[in-house]
């Protein structure tokens, strides 16, 4: 499999608060890597750095073999790095269709808006203003906007938050299809019941460090992972 992303010793601090401490991993085309960890472990900060919203203090990011460590967010987007935001960022005064038109204009790529909206289950809402959508629908719109970039790497930040079980199943099917098309997907997610069936690998962050990176089935067999999630009292319990 082609290596799409390589992250080398990423560090980030805000003032005296060290949020990421030497994070390294890689991801391949047609693979889904889940990133989990307790609140405050650095997950969203890592996504912000990978997408160019934040700049790392130290370390290197390679995308398709190219060093993009110092490239701005819009350059990364045009290269084929799409992302969703934990707090949705659609333009409230624009319709669903207009939001995707704007994304298309900035991406410079020929992607069918109609096809993308049908794919994420929003076509019937195409003329609705985005501030009139439910949270789950706004999450679908976030995904649709990312797909307008025709991404090779898709960064999903809690895409399932606020969705009911039926919506989670539908969006999970979309994500599986994207994987089958060869897209590399990095998912930060708290809804483990939805993430685990999708992921090929899991990365666990705690205190800004990678404490586990490997096969999803071994994740909670690691005592240090159970300690991070459940506390010292329960860290030795079997799973």
End-to-end CA distance of the chain: 32
Helix or strand holding residue 165 (H, E): helix 165-180
Structural domain boundaries in the chain: 3-234
Between CA 217 and CA 93 the distance in angstroms is 44
pTM: 0.90
> Which residues touch 132 (CB under 8 Å, ≥6 apart)?
none
Q: What is the pLDDT along the chain (239 residues), one digit of tens a residue?
A: 789 999 999 999 998 899 999 999 999 999 999 999 988 899 999 999 999 999 999 999 999 999 999 999 999 999 999 999 877 778 888 999 999 998 888 777 889 999 999 999 999 999 999 999 888 899 999 999 999 999 999 999 999 988 899 999 999 999 999 999 999 999 999 889 999 999 999 999 999 999 999 999 888 888 888 887 766 544 444 44
Q: Which of 5, 2, 1, 20 is nearest to 62 (CA)?
A: 5
Nearest to 156 by CA among 167, 169, 140: 140
CATH of domain 3-234: 3.40.50.300
- Is residue 12 within 8 Å of residue 56, measured between CB atoms? yes
């Amino acid at each position: 499999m082609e290596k799409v992303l390589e992250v080398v010793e990423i560090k980030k601090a805000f003032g005296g608060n060290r949020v990421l401490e030497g994070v390294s991993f890689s991801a391949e085309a047609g693979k889904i890597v889940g990133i989990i960890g307790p609140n405050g472990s650095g997950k969203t900060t890592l996504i912000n750095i990978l997408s160019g919203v934040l700049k790392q203090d130290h370390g290197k990011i390679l995308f398709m073999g190219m060093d993009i460590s110092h490239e701005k967010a819009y350059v990364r987007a045009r290269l084929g790095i799409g992302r969703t935001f934990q707090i949705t960022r659609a333009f409230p005064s624009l319709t669903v269709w207009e939001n995707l038109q704007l994304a298309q204009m900035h991406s410079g790529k020929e992607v069918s808006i109609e096809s993308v909206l049908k794919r994420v289950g929003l076509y019937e809402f195409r003329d609705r203003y985005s501030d009139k959508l439910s949270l789950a629908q706004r999450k679908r719109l976030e995904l649709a906007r990312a797909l307008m970039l025709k991404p090779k790497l898709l960064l999903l930040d809690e895409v399932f938050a606020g969705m009911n079980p039926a919506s989670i199943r539908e969006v999970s099917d979309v994500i599986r299809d994207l994987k089958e098309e060869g897209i590399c997907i990095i998912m930060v997610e708290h809804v483990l019941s939805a993430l685990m069936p999708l992921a090929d690998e899991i990365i666990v962050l705690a205190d800004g460090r990678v404490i586990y990176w490997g096969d999803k089935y071994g994740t909670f067999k690691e005592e240090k992972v159970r300690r991070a999630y459940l506390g010292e009292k329960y860290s030795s319990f079997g799973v």
